[in-house]
Amino acid sequence: MSAERKIRLLLAALLAAALAMPAQAQTSKPAKPAPRPPAAPAQPGPESDLAYAAYQRGQYLTAFAEAKRRVESNGDPKSMTLLAELYAQGLGVPLDEKKAAEWYKLAADRGDREAMFQLALFRIAGRGGPRNRDEAVKLFTAAAKLGHPASAYDLGLLYLEGQQFPQDFGRAAELFRAAAEAGNPEAQYALGTIYKEGRGVEKDLREAARWLGAAANAGNMDAEVEYAIALFNGTGIAKDEAAATELFLKSARRGSPISQNRLAHILARGMGRPADPVEAAKWHLIAKAGGNGDPWLDDFVSKLKPEQRTAAQKAAKPWLDALAASRP
């Protein structure tokens, strides 16, 4: 995959996240807690703790009441951010993006970096008000200066995009490094990719493998695939086909067509683990249905015994049915 293609994918992830609408229905009694709560206060007081604890337990009406009381008593910006989150997702209150944006802005103006980040995403998506990329950049920049990893990562993506300001791979690498060192898996993957391609930094396959490995260990599936490839080939790290195969298996089970294809080759050839023609054919069928065809594996499967092909098709069927059901 070219560096430009990887950059487009990285940027697409930012824009997709910003433009996605909340999954929860507009109801005061949501079925389950929000998938990603706002950052908790660095040194929360007992009253602020009550609001966040209620939020994390899914007691949204209590969280709203406690946060509102905290705001009215001493103007706590963390509680403002929590109120914004509740309005943004319709948790305990009717979904209201305009009110969410207003609360995020109040908290951001008082220096809350999580509010800055969320309001930046709102401004990019045009939620709760008009789209305003200039303001979004200012908010990402302010939050990144306060050590917000996701803001540094997203700002790095905008430097790769090169629309808001001139494209600058070096600056993007600096921002990715700051977020990566703070433990952000997406930034670790992005930084590993930049080192692998030598864009904005001197090409360094050891550094690439190090950061891809960190992101893979944190569960980033794209990094799992890239790190497994590096392990299998011994690129920037000691060659370890068995460990690479385990990673390919992990990401294959998570739905990566690339890993499914690689795993099929490994099992067909007996590299990294004993050959298993049926499993190889199964993963090839799944990868092919996911858009990763392979003429060599087509030929391999065609030469299997009829009972082996039948067994592979049976093993692949649940995957293929799930894939078909997920498509429009």
**Angle in degrees, 0-180, between the axes of helices 277-289 and 257-269, rounded to the nearest 10:** 160
Residue that wins the pLDDT comparison between 23 and 119: 119
Give the model's confidence band at 19: pLDDT under 50 very low, under 70 low, under 90 confident, else very high: very low
Of 235, 263, 233, nearest in space to 247 by CA: 263
Give the model's confidence band at 11: pLDDT under 50 very low, under 70 low, under 90 confident, else very high: low
Phi and psi, residue 262, nearest 5°: -60, -40
Tokens at 278, concatenated: 């049926």
Count other C-beta atoms under 10 Å from residue 33's C-beta: 16
Of 254, 241, 247, 162, nearest in space to 200 by CA: 162
pLDDT for res 5: 53
User: What is the tens place of the pLDDT at every residue in 302-323?
Assistant: 999 999 999 999 999 999 999 9
Region 153-174: mean pLDDT is 90
Region 134-160: mean pLDDT is 94
Helices (H), 198-305: 205-217, 221-233, 241-253, 257-269, 277-289, 295-302
Q: Count Cα atoms within 13 angstroms, Cβ side, for 145.
A: 8
Helix (H) or strand (E) holding 310: helix 306-326
pLDDT for res 272: 83
Q: What is the DSSP letter of 40?
A: P
pLDDT for res 49: 76
User: What is the tens place of the pLDDT at every residue in 57-116?
Assistant: 999 999 999 999 999 999 999 999 999 999 999 999 999 999 999 999 999 999 999 999
Q: Considering only 154-163, 280-289, 302-311, which range has the smallest mean pLDDT?
A: 154-163
Of 160, 89, 157, 159, nearest in space to 118 by CA: 89
Region 196-220: mean pLDDT is 96
Tokens at 127, concatenated: 């939620």
Region 164-174: mean pLDDT is 91
Residue 40 pLDDT > 90, yes or no?
no
How distant is the alpha carbon of residue 271 from its chain centre?
A: 31
Q: What totals of helices (H) and strands (E) does the chain contain, helices first?
A: 17, 0
Residue 32 pLDDT > 90, yes or no?
no
pLDDT for res 13: 57
Would you say 208 and 224 are in contact if contact means Cβ atoms under 8 Å apart? Answer: no
Would you say 236 and 208 are in contact if contact means Cβ atoms under 8 Å apart? Answer: yes
**Per-residue CA distances from 40 to 50, 83, 116 (Å):** 11, 13, 14
Q: State pTM to two decimals.
A: 0.81
Helix (H) or strand (E) holding 271: none
Region 173-179: mean pLDDT is 96
Residue 2 pLDDT > 60, yes or no?
no
* 3-state class (DSSP) for residue 245: helix
Give the model's confidence band at 162: pLDDT under 50 very low, under 70 low, under 90 confident, else very high: confident
Q: Which residues pair with 91 in a beta bridge?
A: 27
Mean predicted lDDT score pLDDT of the chain: 87
Residue 31 pLDDT > 50, yes or no?
no
Residue 14 pLDDT > 80, yes or no?
no
